[in-house]
Amino acid sequence: MPVPATAWQPGMRITADRLNAKDYQASTVLVSFTSQTSYTQAVTFPEPFPTAPIMNAEIASGSGTTGRFEARTINVSATGFTLFVLLTDTAEGADTWSNVPVHWTARMPTA
């Protein structure tokens, strides 16, 4: 497992793992569902974090019915999260998505 990014302190040794360390991850999930007003999908991080990270999710499309939806992350842990997509205007009724990209980012909080 890669070493998480480290806040440098006087006297720390520079190692290859520390130089390659990252405190963030990002990716895209393709979301598909039929006749739904909300949808959840479990996502596992490529590399676990030491603790639950700060998360963000955004729908990468504004075309068609996607403009009435929002995306957020729930149940965030060190190993993953649940992507939650929901219709913001329930008066519109259920919709169908096919491979709509939703971007997510995760980062460790700074001290």
Q: Could you report the per-residue pLDDT of 38-84, keeping only the tens digit for each?
A: 999 999 999 898 899 999 999 999 888 888 999 999 999 999 999 99
Give the model's pLDDT for residue 91: 79
Give the model's pLDDT for residue 14: 73
More confident residue, 75 or 8: 75
Give the model's pLDDT for residue 17: 67
- Percent of the chain residues topping a pLDDT of 70: 86
Q: What angle do CA 39, 41, 43 make, to 5 degrees?
A: 155
Nearest-angstrom CA–CA distance, 94 and 88: 11
Domain positions in the chain are 24-107
Give the burial string for 11-42 (b: 16+ CB within 10 Å, else e). eeeeeeeeeeeebebeeebebebeeebebeee
Give the model's pLDDT for residue 1: 40
Token readout for 45 is 């991080």
Q: What is the CATH number of domain 24-107?
A: 2.60.40.2080
